A and B are shown apart, each in its own frame.
Chain A
Amino acid sequence: MGIYLIKRLGASLLTAFIASILVFLVVRMVPGDVVAQMMGQAGDPQAAKSLREFFGLDQPVYVQYITWLLKVLRGDLGSSWTRGMPVTMMVGQAFLVTLEIGLLTLLIATLIGVPLGILSGIYEGRPIDTAVQSLNILGLSAPVFWVGLMLLVAVSGIFSWSPPLRYMPPTRSLGDNLQILALPVISLAVLQVAAYSQFVRQNVVSALRQEYVRTAIAKGVPVRMIFFKHILRNVMIPIITFMGLILIQILGGVVVIESLFALPGLGRLLLTSIETRDYPVLQGALLVVVATAMVINLLIDLTYRLIDPRVRVS
């Protein structure tokens, strides 16, 4: 386990390192940098030059990268070029918003998707399975942001209600916070419930085909016992690991949803920093997204190894 952990961490760090270089380079491929954007068309070349010096843009790219990396290693993501605030703080605040959206979505996806998947798996081929599967395929096909738009139309048409426009953190007013997050979370959850239930169904179906289940049935073990002892226990591992995959999916999905519902999360921070060419913010936000995805993947791997002894042996 120890050696595996070191190897796995090493690989993750190397990937993160290459990813950071990639992020750094891609950001600098932008036609027109922040200075050009600040100064507009008729900028004073002298002023532009001194601004570039101020931002360190006159340095060769590798020097800029090393300077940035050394700061990042000390936990300093620099400060925003357009707003002057420390990037660490901006990204941190945005991360909390996205984290709340992600966890709420995961909660709904788990509470609805898992039971639906188990039900449809147990009744494979019956009408209830067909119904659940049809819903799943619909949920998987509908674009997340479109579901959000339709929800907006539906609630305003039916209840003459629309979500508050200004974001409110849960610490200030939980009620307002949940009102704001309700529609975005439901839009994200539609897809994830479908994905989760489809995944759980497949696992239940294949668990039911195992010989130990057949043996248990032949021995006359009560159905309830077969379900809890044999099926659920074996399906639990993939169910838990799939949570991680859902969180990574949501991490991508929030970009569109946050922009649609004007939520100040990581996704919107990414978009606005691209628009304003705010490199430090863009790099910081991307780094956090990639690092979060990596940590989740690492946790998935580790849980697998902890729960399932077979993985440890191979």
Chain B
Amino acid sequence: MFNGLSVSSILLLMALGLAITFGLMGVINMAHGELMMLGSYTAYVMQNAFLRQFGDQGFSGYFAVALPVSFFVAGSVGLLLERTLIRRLYGRPLETLLATWGVSLILQQTMRQAFGANNVDVRSPQWLTGRWQVSAGLEFPHLRLFIIFFTAAAVALIYLLLFRTNVGLKIRAVTQNRDMSACLGVPTAKVDAYTFALGSGLAGVAGCILSLMGSVGPTTGQNYIVDAFMVVVLGGVGKLAGAIAGGLGIGECNTLFESFSTATMGKVIVFTLVILFLQWKPSGLFPSRNRSLD
């Protein structure tokens, strides 16, 4: 159960940015995984910088710096991407898919040339390496606890941003009815750009956190992308609550099936279930209602 929760929160973290760019804006960003990878490499660079600067003692602080920096790095790459490429392709999802796949290939190769083809490791800061002993035989690694709480906090923040602030109001207005918002004076192009940057920045943060879970390589991003899309599709495109439910569902199922078969078989079963589930509810757990056809 706890393991499932931990896997779920990782999935949710990965899917959170996608829930915004894909769910709200309808942009299929295949480079989303690569934006996560950028976040992971940011963590790696920060770690090395801190090691050089402060030695082994002070290096633990790097992570607090890496989080906002990775948000900024991935966010600005996302902003650039939106301004130059995705802007021209709104309303043509399949074309967006192919073009952003091209971007992902370029980002991968850039990272490969910058950091080498081999995976690099990011060491967890000391305050995350411990375990919390609840009772004999039951202990929670700090790292996993941290990820669960961080995800919860991130979801809460995004929720507040979308539903309790002026910016969030504009974002929702533009995604619901672009023409009407434009008529009422919302700068839609600007809102699009910042929404996309927000989603990309979240991908960077997710990557930064994920770097603690395993090593980072140029193709790391690719492994996440299908999972993240599945979470959003299962949950229902356009709903934040859907992404949360989707992440929880897939995470728990994954852990459950892995426990009585192998890891790959677990994944196979989960994907099959998702496809079968979409038979029953084609628009996911929390479908967004609208009357338009096509």
- Does A pair with B? no
- Chain A interfacial positions (CB closer than 8 Å to B): none
